[in-house]
Structure 1
Amino acid sequence: MQPLNNRKLKILLIVEQCNPDWSSVPLEGFNYFKEIYQIADVTVVTHARNQPNLENKGYNVVYISESSAIKQYYKSVASVAMKGRVNWPLYHLLSYPVYAEFDHRVYQAFKQQVLQGEYDIVHAITPMMPRYPYKIIKACQKSNTPFLLGPVNGGIPFPEGFKETAKKESASLNFLRALGRYLIPGYVETYKKASHILAGSTYTFNLLQKLFAIPDDRISLLYENGIENDFLMEVERYQISDRPINLLFVGRLVPYKCADVVIEAIGQLKSSLQNRIKLSIVGDGSEKENLEKMVQDLHLGSQVNFAGWIPQQETVNYYRQADVFCFPSIREFGGAVVIEAMACGLPCIVVDYGGIGEYVTEEAGFKIEPRSREYLVKQVKEKIKILVEDQQLRTQMSVNSVERAKEFVWSNKALKMHEVYESVLESSNTVSDSSNESNKLTSKEFHTA
């Protein structure tokens, strides 16, 4: 290989979920890949399900197909775990064989290349939830090729004051996640032997260090989500006094996202303030019917609009027509919608728990401790009232939100990732040189004796 300072780093990116036309983790995986591709010599390996959305884009992509047996198995998993309200703990447990086949086929396809030292770095990006191992680490260990993992995120429990919500989300089965750490072959080895782990939130950072005794020099914090540069907008939100203040909620309509908290908070405001507010709820899910009934019971039909599911690329129109973003989700890891809202200059009202509590600063919005549902409703009501009545504060927070969002631009995150690559390689080379020197001394001592 050429010296590193004369060429781009050669990276093998394992991005099982990588799709520019989907949302959540697949879109995040694609955005990481797309930006790293600009600054390194990248080969990406992903699942064949992503091929229709990636081919003909000029990227160097290797697609891993699945067997007919796994295809049939996955249909059975979906019918069991995704019927009605999705049982996520059960879904993740039953889905492991689907991932395991992908992981094994990646190992078979790239084992020899890694053993021959063809890559400077092997980096596994998705799945981002810390639930599965990576078999390719075995080849990395033998060839002294650094293996990076992450940003991994998740593992956070429901707040103590929301046991009823946790019950609705089948949280009683979350023990399966902890059980899987020790039953899934290679899981513990992946975390103990990875050259470096990127944690997507402070909670996950602390959790992984505690579980696997990872030293500080092998783990760092890199927030999971990012934002496209063209999503950012410079704003001047000086309001016309007689114009309604537009509140916005964007997310799946499921219990833990707490759209009901926003509706109830508005319902508790004085009618004079209610009449100054319009709330748009963008999203769909199992709670939609209950939320619509709540709006009807609280006589908020003229204040609340259900926009339904909106394609990812069109949600920006809702952000840019809004004034305040209300997203009191009580168990959020990534929370990309919060960064999107900040990028469009929206002061944010969020729960100070998990990832979103780290995105929003005190200058860019309000963070509420999740003590109980009643407390959360009361606090959301108070924060809405403050932002509706205080135009100057709303404007200043709007400006601060945009500035904060700039830190999450995908291209900037890729540069930070590249800095990690270089640091890990430097450490790896130092260890390798020390090992070689030690071997020479041992050899010399042996011959002298």
Structure 2
Amino acid sequence: MSQRYQVWVLTHPQERQSIEDYLAEHPNPNLRFVFVNVPRWLDTWDPARDKRVSPLHYVLWQRAALHQASRLHKQISFDIVHHVSWGTVSEPPLLWRLPVPFVWGPVGGGQVTPAAFRKYLGSAARAKWMRDIRMRMIPFRPVLRKAARRSAVIFATNFETATILKQAGASDVKLFLDTGIREDFLLNEPPRRAPREPLKLLWVGRLLPRKCLPLAIEALAQLKDAPVRLLVAGKGEMRSQCEEMAAALGISNRIEFLGEVPYEGMPALYCSADAFIFTSIRDAFGSQVLEAMASGLPIIALNHQGVRAFVPDDAGIKVPVMAPRETVGMLAQAICTIARSVELRNRMGRAAWEFARTQAWPQRAQAMAHHYEEAIDQRRNPLRTAPTGVQDRRTELEPEGGPHGENENACKIFI
């Protein structure tokens, strides 16, 4: 964004040294960071000892950030303000109070666990059930309604969150992923994978209950004679339970638990696979899905939440979320279908790769710049008709016009 605009970023000093080291190596006169902390007498959270940010700290930090933002606006006169984190409807922002167009998102958090699948959550089921009840009430929360109604545009990561935002009074909600793909991760061309047996089916993620790896294990167990091998990359509390489950089902020899794979090793792992399976029962989207698509892998996933909103229908097989038994059966059928046809895998893999190209960071920045300019223009020309409803911007093209560069008259963005 700083290639086009003058950008001020308001953030916590937790990563200050890393940020300043980067700016020292990559000077950018259009990019400025302002660090805001909460006084220790109000909040004793120490990021050096505990990486988890408490909701109380975030509320206090938001108030401190609003105070600093108001002071800066009086000096600089921003053209637009954009709140990007936390990206959840559960913690609405306060920066809408500045007298400029306010952009919020990408924001998720509105997705809930399908009721029939709560048994997979184990001891966490009750807490997730309480969360689901809270999500049904959240559109009526005053602080959310104020933020939603004062937003020029809100970006949602799935239809479920978009619906909550509309119920809360948002006038313009657009679908926009909360993650992008690095250009060095994106292949120049999707590989044409040759026929081979066994088919390598890849699952990537933290081994947590809501990621629901057991669905993939149960589906594989139904394919008694299919030449399919499941590779599991990730660590977490459920590893031993999943290994025991595979042994009980008699398929331990068809599943390989790789543990945590370093990020720099992930591109090679994706390229070594033939297809990708994503079984999360509650996720805004899943960055690993986009990484798999960038590697030209066909996607097998549950047809809900972020996957339903963003994965193109021709880029894989999206399985309806019904009762667990039916869903597992359809996952097994999807794996079998993918395994039988290398041409189908290559065709779906190319469609997946084509979508991933639209989510490279330069393309996402260009699309966001277009939305900024729309919001600013709408504020300057209020009689123009504003969009309503949930707008689909999954493959937004770049806006017209070049970068502003170092220009005193460039649009001033506050993030």
**TM class by smaller structure:** 0.7 to 0.9
Given candidates 201, 204, 218, the residue that maps to 2:158 is 201
Aligned counterpart, 1:409: 360
Following the alignment from structure 2 to structure 1, what is the Cα–Cα distance between the partners of residues 274 and 104? 38
Is 2:298 the partner of 1:347? Answer: yes
Equivalent positions of 1:36-435 (< 5 A) are 36-58=1-23, 60-68=32-40, 72=44, 95-116=54-75, 118-138=77-97, 140-141=98-99, 145-165=100-120, 168-169=124-125, 170-174=127-131, 175-176=133-134, 186-212=143-169, 214-215=170-171, 218-233=172-187, 234-241=189-196, 243-271=197-225, 273=226, 276-431=227-382
Tell me by how many angstroms 1:40 deviates: 1.8
- 1:50-90 Cα offsets, whole Å, 9 max, x none, are 22432211252222234435664579x989xx9xxxxxxxx
Question: What is the CA–CA distance in structure 1 between the aligned matches of 2:39 and 2:263, rounded to whole Å?
Answer: 31
**121 and 376 in structure 1: CA distance in 2 versus 1, 3 angstrom threshold:** same
Q: Supply the AA of the counterpart residue of 2:182.
A: E
Distance apart, 1:338 and its partner CA: 0.8
Residue 181 of structure 1: how far off its partner (Å): 6.6
Paired with 1:317 and 1:238, the residues of 2 have a C-alpha distance of: 14
Q: Deviations over 1:351-371 (max 9, x none)?
A: 000011222222110001110
Superposition deviation, residue 329 in structure 1: 1.5
Mapped to 1, the partners of 2:34 and 2:243 lie a distance apart of: 45
CA contact (8 A) 2:111 2:160 kept: yes
CA distance in 1, matches of 2:35, 2:107: 22
CA distance in 2, matches of 1:56, 1:105: 25
SS at structure 2 position matched to 1:164: helix
Residues 318, 238 of structure 1: alpha-carbon distance in 2 compared, 3 angstrom cutoff: closer
The percentage of aligned residue pairs carrying the same residue is 26
How far does residue 320 in structure 1 lie from its aligned partner after superposition? 1.2
> What do residues 121-175 of structure 1 show as CA deviations (whole Å, max 9, x unaligned)?
111111111122333332x13xxx1111111112122223223235634212213
Q: Give the number of the structure whose residues are more often helix, by fraction.
A: 1
For the aligned residue pairs, the C-alpha RMSD in angstroms reads 2.6
Q: TM-score when scaled to structure 1? A: 0.76
Matches of 2:46 and 2:383 in 1, distance apart?
43
Gaps of 5+ in 2: 24-30, 385-415
**Quick one: which amino acid aligns to residue 51 of structure 1?**
R
1:346/1:397 contact within 8 Å kept: yes
State the alpha-carbon separation in 1 of the partners of residues 318 and 348 from structure 2: 13
Give the aligned length: 372
Q: Which moved more, 1:344-353 or 1:409-418?
A: 409-418
Retained in 2: the 8 A contact 1:342–1:348? yes
TM-score, structure 2 length as denominator?
A: 0.82
Please give the alpha-carbon distance, in whole angstroms, between the structure 2 residues aligned to 1:313 and 1:66.
35
Q: Counterpart of 1:256 in structure 2: which amino acid?
A: R
Cα distance, 1:370–1:69 mapped onto 2, change above 3 Å: farther
Unaligned runs of 5+ in 1: 1-35, 83-91, 434-449
- Residues 232, 258 of structure 2: 8 Å contact kept: yes
How many Å separate the matches in 1 of 2:336 and 2:79?
Answer: 54
Match of 1:9 in 2: none
Q: Secondary structure at the match of 1:127?
A: coil
- Call closer, same or farther: CA 1:152–1:238 in 2, change over 3 Å: closer
Alpha carbons of 1:178 and 1:160: their partners in 2 closer, same or farther (altered >3 Å)? closer
Larger radius of gyration: 1
Structure of higher RCO (CA pairs closer than 8 Å, 6+ residues apart): 2
